[in-house]
Amino acid sequence: MKDFDETFRKQIGKEGLTLVDFFATWCGPCKAMHPILTQLKEKLGDQVHIMKVDVDLPEHGNVISHYNIASVPTLILFRAGKALWRGSGVVSAEYLKGIIEQARREPIKC
C-alpha cells in the first residue's frame, strides 16, 4: 500500500497536470471512458499525464478513502498536489480538453 501511496503522491505533486481516472473494471461507464481518455491523450500529448486508479485494488484503498471516491468513474485533475477540478460520470474528450486548457491558464476551484 505504501508504495502506491508514494507513487500517487509523487505523480500528482508534479508541476504538470495529472488527470486521475478512478475506475472499476466491472463499470460500464468506466469502460466508455477508456477510449475517450486515449483520444484526449492523443490530442494533448505531454500537456497532461493520465493516471488510472482501480478502486477495487486493496493497495489503492488509502487514496480512494482520502479523496472520498464514492462513484466511478471519478476524474480529478491535479497540479502540484492540489485538486483543480473534479467530476464524475462519462464526459467527452472535448470537455476534458477545455478543462485542461483552462487549468493551464489559471487555477480552477473544485
Q: Which residues lie across from 20 on neighbouring strands?
A: 51, 76
Q: What pLDDT is recorded for position 105?
A: 85
pLDDT along the chain (110 residues), means of 10: 88 95 98 97 95 97 96 97 96 96 74
Q: What pLDDT is recorded for position 1?
A: 55
Q: Which residues lie across from 21 on neighbouring strands?
A: 52, 75
Q: What pLDDT is recorded for position 2?
A: 72
Domains and CATH numbers, the chain: 2-105 (3.40.30.10)
The active-site residue out of 17, 30, 36, 63 is: 30
The enclosing H or E element of 11 equals: helix 2-12
The active-site residue out of 5, 11, 24, 27 is: 27
Q: Is 110 a catalytic residue?
A: no
Longest dimension (CA), the chain: 36
